[in-house]
Homo-oligomer: A and B are copies of this chain.
Amino acid sequence: MHSITVNSLPSDSARPVDPHTMKVACSNCNLRELCMPVGLSAEELERVDELVATRRKVKRGTALFRNGEAFNSLFAIRTGFFKTCVTAVDGRDQVTGFQMAGEIVGLDGIVSDRHTCDAVALEDAEVCVMPFDRIGELSREIGALQHHVHRIMSREIVREHGVMLLLGSMRAEERLAAFLLNLVQRLHARGFSQTELVLRMTREEIGSYLGLKLETVSRTFSKFADDGLVEVRQRHLRIIDAQALRRIVNQQGGA
């Protein structure tokens, strides 16, 4: 089976050798609405273009950054799919999120000038490198950019509130249903199918994110399939009854 990439942007033929083509024109990027502020003047747009210093390719399975590394830049995902995870002193691991095209990673590093989690590519990926001091300088001059940065950080805080609600009060089926609906909704916003998706992560990674063991994830997928809510073939997933999944999420443990 051929791999379906999460992002279908035209792969451009920029050679890493040429520093010119390494520059990215945010103003022309299909993902602009996702990762850049709207309502900029032509002049402002041009300056924001300079925000992206370089692009960087990240091979599947390798890290964009790791816990403990110096923080210098935020990264906007152009293509590919990432997980972020934190590690406790005792070695315990927790996936804190899955990120796709147009989303920003690296915010965790600002507070201490060091990254405090790992960002690992789950498929070959490319990111825009945005040096954080440059973001600071530019957002001092462009109000819309400043507000945009604040909104991105606030959005991440709110997202994590949602995960806390999920981890703190939902049962396994509710967690997995919420996870699937969230994933497919984000993919749909990027032009993909509302009903079909390819999971880029293992059952174990899903389990880590949802606070469940991989066996529970697998069993719950099977149950959803038995009940006719989804069709599961390994990582290929088709949502048959989204409404039923929504009911599961909003039913407060069976009440």
Chain A residues with a Cβ under 8 A of chain B: 86, 88-94, 96, 107-112, 116-117, 136, 139-141, 143, 146-147, 149-151, 153-158, 160-165, 167-170, 208-211, 250-252
Contacts and interface: CB of A to CB of B under 8 A. Distances in A.
Contact of A163 (B117, B140, B164, B250): B164
A37 to B, nearest CB: 13
Contacts of A146: 136, 139-140
B90 A251 contact: yes
Given A107-B157, A140-B140, A140-B143, A94 B151 contact: no
* Most chain B beta-carbon contacts within 10 A, residue among A112, A153, A156, A210: A153
Nearest to A153: B153
Contact of A154 (B92, B109, B162, B250): B109
A116 B164 contact: no
A108 B147 CA distance: 14
Given A169-B94, A169-B211, A153 B157 contact: yes
Contact of A111 (B136, B155, B160): B155
Given A153-B157, A164-B96, A136 B147 contact: yes
Nearest to A147: B136
Contacts of A110: 150-151, 153-154
A139 B145 CA distance: 13
19 contacts: A86-B165, A88-B165, A88-B252, A91-B252, A92-B169, A96-B161, A107-B154, A107-B157, A110-B153, A111-B155, A111-B157, A116-B161, A117-B161, A140-B143, A153-B154, A157-B160, A160-B160, A168-B210, A169-B211
**Nearest 6 Cβ contacts at the A-B interface:** A110-B154, A167-B167, A168-B211, A111-B154, A160-B160, A153-B153
Contacts of A140: 139-141, 143, 146
A211 B158 contact: no
Given A89-B250, A90-B252, A164-B160, A150 B153 contact: yes
Contacts of A107: 153-154, 157
A149 B139 CA distance: 13
Nearest to A135: B150
A88 B86 CA distance: 26
Contacts of A109: 154
Contacts of A139: 140, 146
Contacts of A141: 140
